[in-house]
Structure 1
């Protein structure tokens, strides 16, 4: 089969080659990949600043995939040939709290990912792809949609009438705006681009804040919420901005720390965190059970993934370059266009 192999760190070392098609073992599925979507995690792995000591070389990267089961190993009962399935990043995290070693079983690093014509998934980690979505749409769900869902619904315990703050207009933030709106919450979005703020408003955001125009954007959030702040903040940036997220979140509210776009380290001001009694929760996607709760909600509310551009399998490098420039919603790679 054809597969993209990361031979060393750097996009120039991502190369398309012929490799042996894997054979499913006991409990495993051979999936013909229909499409994959890119996440910041994938870029960070390729660029060498996401746990580089754990990255095997060569590696077939990219965690998020949708495709069709074409063969099954011995003992498989959850799926049959012809079923459409999604990958799930944490392949052994099925329910409840994560185990200490979950990162050792992640699709796309250290386990082989979906940037290939075929991939292996264990039947316990695979999730039935929504019938209402194409492979391109379903491929956007495993990290971006699921992270947003878990942050808001499972951790934030979001209720109708509450307020959600989302940062930027990337994949997680757009899904968070859509899910929160469908849940009956008020949504405030931040971005440096007025056009993107208008677009995310069309998807469910009620208010937009241009953080270049308002560098102290947390004050604007407080102004829009009568001094209260957001009930749940989805922070995709990290870095020093975490202090602004805490300030923009209500007393005893939740900050879901899902990303590190602005840096992997933060100078945390402890006194506001303590006095506001904020829950600062690190989010590393979610268990399979949460995925299986999310999909019916997406179907019920007719939530469709927002895809900025679909690239052909042969254009994987161009797709990663687009991701580096930024995108509204998701970048997808389709096996055949």
Structure 2
């Protein structure tokens, strides 16, 4: 029997974490013709969720009372009359956008207007209704917590590395990842799976050891070495530089990414986690001409890319990494704080 209500977190406003409210009997709407009812088993958080809760200018105009969260995994409970791809019992992951063609890259407007947890109800609930275009089948080798990390971080990392056929990493290539957030750890795992050599950065000795245990060949402390981009380049064969940089810091890291990249290498702009450092010039488009590297900006990835990534995860039996501390469904505020205080390693997950 289809439930009529569900425990759910909602955003009553945009005054930060305290805007999160747990509603025990949030109504579940009737399932539309192209909608799917999913019992959520796990969700994970992103910096985006904090930005929305704070009402920051990057993601304005949220819908009051929306269920937050874009990342999740669960089991299909029921489907609408015109849904053909899914049926009851299927294990699924969420895709952040709704009603986009499977091969259409998302724009910032798409993410604002049709993003889960922003204007469309998201994943911080026991039962959720999604448009069928907001779902893909889960990798068969993963559990729900692992699969819940894929929606944003996993897919962004995949697009960063494999989004351009001619620039995909291969055995013998060198890849630089920054920090220990979800995108960087997923990129490390994907690049290792094709035989690339990984250089990683962090400011934590403890996290450096964890990075090495996951397969990073070199780990650079960016607080101790302000010129870590040059150091990274010096570690590569013939000091030519790395083939790919997955840049998640934006203004705070781009100048060092440029110093690390080789001629005709790729800098994948995958995030905006930091502000511009003092007394540091920010590379411009003309630097690409002078230094012959490629910079690619993108947002997330398409559903087609999601399916491609999931096949790769199954083939290579990759197990996504998330933080050792997993929160339960009543601890969303604690999970948000844990993420906001940057105490996490890779992804912060919530079990339902």
Q: TM-score, normalised by structure 1?
A: 0.94
Aligned match of 2:13: 8
Match of 1:319 among 306, 313, 335: 335
- CA spacing shift, 1:182–1:89, aligned 2, 3 Å: same
* Native 8 Å contact 1:218 1:244 kept in 2: yes
Aligned match of 1:286: 301
What is the Cα deviation at residue 139 of structure 1? 0.5
Within the alignment, does 1:272 sit opposite 2:277 as a pair? no
- CA spacing shift, 1:140–1:240, aligned 2, 3 Å: closer
What is the Cα deviation at residue 101 of structure 1? 4.5
Aligned match of 1:198: 209
Question: RMSD over aligned Cα, in angstroms?
Answer: 1.9
Within the alignment, does 1:105 sit opposite 2:114 as a pair? yes
After TM superposition, the structure 1 = structure 2 runs for residues 140-289 of structure 1, keeping only pairs within 5 Å, are 140-155=149-164, 156-225=167-236, 226-263=238-275, 268-270=282-284, 271-289=286-304
Aligned match of 1:88: 95
Match of 1:60 among 67, 86, 91: 67
- CA spacing shift, 1:167–1:100, aligned 2, 3 Å: closer
What is the Cα deviation at residue 159 of structure 1? 2.0
Aligned match of 1:134: 143
Aligned match of 1:43: 50
- Per-residue CA shift, 1:90-133, capped at 9, x if unaligned? 23151154468522222221211111111122223311112221
- Per-residue CA shift, 1:28-57, capped at 9, x if unaligned? 101111110011111211122253433121
Aligned equivalents of 1:13, 1:41: Cα separation in 2: 15
- CA spacing shift, 1:239–1:99, aligned 2, 3 Å: closer
Aligned equivalents of 2:247, 2:172: Cα separation in 1: 20
- CA spacing shift, 1:267–1:43, aligned 2, 3 Å: farther
Match of 2:345 among 292, 312, 328: 328
Q: Which moved more, 1:88-97 or 1:78-87?
A: 88-97
Match of 2:132 among 117, 123, 128: 123
In structure 1, stretches of 5+ residues that fail to align are: none
- Per-residue CA shift, 1:270-319, capped at 9, x if unaligned? 25333112222122110001111111211222211112121010000000
What is the Cα deviation at residue 185 of structure 1? 0.6
* Native 8 Å contact 2:108 2:299 kept in 1: no
Aligned equivalents of 1:93, 1:100: Cα separation in 2: 16
Aligned length: 335
* Native 8 Å contact 1:164 1:185 kept in 2: yes
- CA spacing shift, 1:298–1:11, aligned 2, 3 Å: same
Q: TM-score, normalised by structure 2?
A: 0.90
Aligned equivalents of 1:39, 1:275: Cα separation in 2: 35
Aligned equivalents of 2:109, 2:222: Cα separation in 1: 37
Q: Which moved more, 1:78-87 or 1:50-59?
A: 50-59
